[in-house]
Structure 1
Amino acid sequence: MTFRFEHETLGQRVRFASGTAREALAAEIESLGATRVMVIAGAAEADLATDITEGLPVAVRHDEVVMHVPVPVAERARAAAARHDVDLLVSVGGGSTTGLAKAVALTAGLPIIAVPTTYAGSEATNVWGLTEGAKKTTGVDARVLPRAIVYDASLMLTLPIELSVASGLNALAHCVDSLWAPRADPINAALAAEGIRALAAGLPRIVDDPADLAGREEALYGAYLSAVSFASAGSGLHHKICHVLGGRYDLPHAPTHAVVLPYVLALNAPAAPEADARIARAFDADTGLDGLQALRERLDAPRNLRDHGFEEDRIGDAVEAILPSVPETNPVTVTPENLERLLRGAWEGADPR
């Protein structure tokens, strides 16, 4: 094997320790010298955010968090940050919360400290996304990469099993997509493989016992690795599909990723044997798809898109919307025909094999 690649590692600090969120956050705020903090947390995380930011220099708390970050929601958050003259953003929540903080940082240039409460992974990437007029636009910008991440798995002990599973499989999709994304390289692949192994080990423990802190830590560790690999490799076919489905039809983010993943893997694996072998080894299975499907069965994962609001008569429209964004590096040439089959299979919940 001849090694020839370019790899970029993003610079941020990670504090990973259960039960230490308040102390870790205080230390990060002090290190940045911030005196007027904007805390972004949706209603579901409001009490948690209040608890871990107690005694810190909070200038404003902002709780309007909406999935896929609609532009008007972003504009109101930007206005609140300006109105209160804040010098630091602290996001406490899942991908939508982190995404809103990124939308503010994109225009205001403010630093972010992210405190994740799901396995979304947005906190470890320099990717932003905004939705306007049923179209989700994404981009890459150094300004949106959080300066630091505070990982505390104890914050996830109350995350419902269904959301834990969907969010964890969303993280696993980052790993799989990183193996054939536009900037895939051996370092991304190594991170992705360990991410798959950790998620496959941690998620079943969470399903068996939601209070299993060690299982939560394993899954959170895997989610971080998945996001780092994705940030370097870029968006592959899976994420291009899911960004259209989420932004255009307002489908829930994590369940959409969880449903679509096996169909993309089934399409690409035959043309990417090295990637498939790596995925299979991470799952300790004969093939990547065998391993993924066994895990999905074990987790009782989301099975189809129709259960999440995607209507059959939108499949043709989705095909037209997705095709222009398909990466040239995808292992299989994507056509209207095989893309329609993929989406129809995901809509029905058919066996991807």
Structure 2
Amino acid sequence: MYPFVYKSLPLRIVFGEGTSARLAEEADLLAIRRALVLTTPGHEQLGRAMAGRLGDRFAGLFAGAVMHTPVGVTEDALKRAADLKADGVIAVGGGSTVGLGKAIALRTGLPQIAIPTTYAGSEMTPILGETQNGVKTTRSSPEIMPRTVIYDVDLTLSLPVRVATVSGMNALAHSVEALDAKDRNPVVSLMAADAIRAIVSALPDIARTPDDVNARSLALYGAWLSGLCLGSVGMALHHKLCHVLGGTFNLPHAETHAIVLPHAMAYNSVAVPDVEKQIAEILGAHGAASALHDLAHRLGIPASLREIGMPEAGIDRAAELAIANPYWNPRPLERGDIRELIARAWAGEQPLVDS
């Protein structure tokens, strides 16, 4: 048995069907009396529905959250919070909205409640990624964490299949990387393996039968565990690449994770053969990287970074940024190999596993 340190995250989880009806009760537990509700422009109606559940605890709505948490948007939301004298924030939506809630909490100390509607998992992490001047940076602090997370399966039933599948692959990436993290431990590894099983079982069912409540529930459960894994151990090559690609080229977050995941798994396979074997067994395949690639293809997820807007001219720039201030990784990062990885992901080619 390898030596390890395990530290649990201090937060409250409310999971089930219809659980968002308990929002006012959960706000009271945090002594929130003037709540600022956060959404993206597309989720404004849902934000107003949650405002109705808050009753007189609702102070106002900010429906301006966007991908990659631009600092300028955060500054606008902070002004809105100050004008309303808000004493808490309620983030309703996916990773973009949760990220904005985290950014506000970090700067103000306000308690936050997250109500995720996708499988992004960021609500379970003390990590904030922000973009400014085309560069995405991350930082970690306990103040970033939501105090309460309400998982309501009912809110995911309207999530389009395309969004559900790419969001699920994003969550899957968190668990896959947790298994070979530098600070992995037996508890997180058990959660990661269970999350992978749940997600790979649920996503094909959602693709076939979008209103399958059991599949949606299983996917949300897997996303919760995946986010918890991401928040408990360090990140490596996969997340470094996705942060670079997303922040530099403004690529859609979940699609970037889904496309990069098999290639990052292939790159690291030679350094973590035990993890590669474990994931392959869970997927019922001979190779983890090819199985992840094939799963994404069966789910109809874009196969290449080119399809989601990355310019071919950006491959070299991405490779340079990926090896600058790199995260720890089980396999050393070599510029030529990283460039080839990115080029293959850009072209949508099969992941290359070194022998």
2:155 is the counterpart of 1:155: yes
Partner of residue 17, structure 1: 16
Measured after TM superposition, the shift of residue 149 of structure 1 is 0.6
C-alpha distance after superposition, 1:38-83 (max 9, x if no partner):
0001222111222233142111100111110111101111111112
3-state SS of paired residue (2:59): strand
Partner of residue 230, structure 2: 230
| Residues 293 and 350, structure 2, Cα contact 8 Å, conserved in 1 | no
Partner of residue 42, structure 1: 40
For residue 207 of structure 2, what is the amino acid of its counterpart?
Answer: V
Question: So what's the TM-score if we normalise by structure 1?
Answer: 0.96
Structure 2: segments with no counterpart, 5+ residues = none
Distance 1:137 1:182 in 2: 20
| Residues 179 and 275, structure 1, Cα contact 8 Å, conserved in 2 | yes
Measured after TM superposition, the shift of residue 202 of structure 1 is 0.7
Measured after TM superposition, the shift of residue 159 of structure 1 is 1.1
Seq. identity, %: 41
Structure 1: segments with no counterpart, 5+ residues = none
Partner of residue 4, structure 2: 5
3-state SS of paired residue (1:53): helix
| Residues 175 and 230, structure 2, Cα contact 8 Å, conserved in 1 | yes
The equivalent position to 2:25 in structure 1, one of 24, 27, 40, is 27
Matches within 5 A, 1:308-323: 308-323=308-323
Partner of residue 295, structure 1: 295
Matches within 5 A, 1:244-259: 244-259=244-259
Partner of residue 214, structure 1: 214
Measured after TM superposition, the shift of residue 282 of structure 1 is 2.1
Partner of residue 304, structure 2: 304
| Residues 175 and 192, structure 2, Cα contact 8 Å, conserved in 1 | yes
Question: So what's the TM-score if we normalise by structure 2?
Answer: 0.96
Measured after TM superposition, the shift of residue 288 of structure 1 is 1.8
3-state SS of paired residue (1:332): coil
Measured after TM superposition, the shift of residue 290 of structure 1 is 4.1
Distance 1:25 1:96 in 2: 20
2:278 is the counterpart of 1:274: no
What is the count of residue pairs matched by the alignment?
350
For residue 251 of structure 1, what is the amino acid of its counterpart?
Answer: L
3-state SS of paired residue (1:110): coil
3-state SS of paired residue (1:101): helix
Dislocated runs of 4+, deviation >3 Å: none
Distance 2:114 2:53 in 1: 18
For residue 106 of structure 2, what is the amino acid of its counterpart?
Answer: L
Measured after TM superposition, the shift of residue 128 of structure 1 is 0.7
Distance 1:229 1:90 in 2: 23
2:294 is the counterpart of 1:332: no
| Residues 297 and 303, structure 2, Cα contact 8 Å, conserved in 1 | no
Distance 1:100 1:208 in 2: 33
Distance 2:325 2:212 in 1: 40
**RMSD (Å) for aligned C-alpha atoms:** 1.2
Measured after TM superposition, the shift of residue 3 of structure 1 is 3.6
For residue 81 of structure 2, what is the amino acid of its counterpart?
Answer: A
For residue 344 of structure 1, what is the amino acid of its counterpart?
Answer: A
3-state SS of paired residue (1:7): coil
